[in-house]
Structure 1
Amino acid sequence: MNVGHILKTKGGDVFTLRPEVTIAEVVEVLAERRIGAIVLVDEGGAVAGIVSERDVVRVLAKSGAGVLDKPIGEAMTVKVQTCSGETGIDEVLSIMTNGRFRHLPVIEGGRLAGIVSIGDIVKMKIEETEREAEQMREYIAAG
């Protein structure tokens, strides 16, 4: 299984914002869309950063509510780890675990093609395990 399989199932739609928006605007979008992270793109559409709920909480704890009027650039992760559609599920799980983050943008041909979350990965692993268990049951029943 690979990331491309997940994107075929869930789609490649990614809500993005520009790095100039305020932290308050990001908070509003995260809550409104019920998502855990937003990919920030520059004017050319290239990934400029990513911001998660966790990033927002950290900057609020450090600087207080006054930071809400600041650009999200002050809270976003600039060195964004990414993967491709060909990246295997186990590799993505390892990247997320080692990096301690829950969202990974997918880049194809230099462009943002989607985003996968730890929830997407866990769902895929559960489906894979259930499929393997069913195959084992069928094998045992046939023997």
Structure 2
Amino acid sequence: MHICQILGSKSPEIFSVTPDQTMVEVLRLFRDKNIGFVVVGRSPGECLGTLSERDCCYAVAEYGTEAPLMRVGEIMNRTVATCSTEDFLPFVMSIMTERRTRHVLVMDGNDAVGVVSIGDVVKHRLEEALQAERDMHDYICGANYR
């Protein structure tokens, strides 16, 4: 399955914040939008880095009570995990595994067009597994075959 197919089945919205916002502002956005990942940029379409729930946890572990008021630019991840719309799902899974990340920014050339999360991966792999199970059941039972 191509990543563009996954993006087609979900909201393509990419949430972004500025490097000057505080971590607690971003955490409120995470809560309000039920997300766990944002792109960091000074203007729409710019990507200076990313920030995830995990990055926020690491910041708290490192900086303690100062972390919630720190600026996003101080704690963001500058090495962004990306893939192409034409990449296949197993390739993106390998990126997530190797980079130990739960989110991959999807690019179409130089433009960010979406985000694939570990939840998206699990959802689509589960759908594939259930379809394979139905197909095998039908084959064994002789259903839907002539």
When the two structures are superposed, what TM-score results if normalisation uses the length of structure 2? 0.90
Counterpart position of 1:118:
118
Q: 1:71-110 to 2 correspondence within 5 Å?
A: 71-110=71-110
Q: Which moved more, 1:94-103 or 1:129-138?
A: 129-138
Deviations 1:24-62 (A, max 9, x none): 211211122221111112325222111111111111121
Q: 1:15-54 to 2 correspondence within 5 Å?
A: 15-43=15-43, 45-54=45-54
Structure 1 position 67, deviation (Å): 3.0
Letter in 1 for 2:47: V
1:47 is paired with a residue of what secondary structure?
coil
- Equivalent-residue separation in structure 2 for 1:11 and 1:111 (angstroms): 16
Are 1:132 and 2:117 matched, yes or no? Answer: no
Counterpart position of 2:3:
3
Counterpart position of 2:56:
56
Structure 1 position 107, deviation (Å): 0.8
Moved >6 Å (runs of 4+): none
RMSD across aligned positions (CA)? 1.5
Percent identity over the alignment is: 36
Aligned length in residues? 143
Letter in 2 for 1:66: E
- Equivalent-residue separation in structure 1 for 2:44 and 2:133 (angstroms): 46
- Going from structure 1 to structure 2, the CA distance change for 1:98 and 1:33 (only over 3 Å counts) comes to same
Deviations 1:74-112 (A, max 9, x none): 111001010111111111111101111101111113111
Q: Which has the higher contact order (CA 8 A, sep 6+)?
A: 1
Letter in 2 for 1:85: T
Letter in 2 for 1:14: I
When the two structures are superposed, what TM-score results if normalisation uses the length of structure 1? 0.91
Unaligned runs of 5+ in 1: none
Structure 1 position 17, deviation (Å): 1.1
Q: Is the 8 A contact 2:81 2:103 kept in 1?
A: no
Unaligned runs of 5+ in 2: none
Letter in 1 for 2:140: I
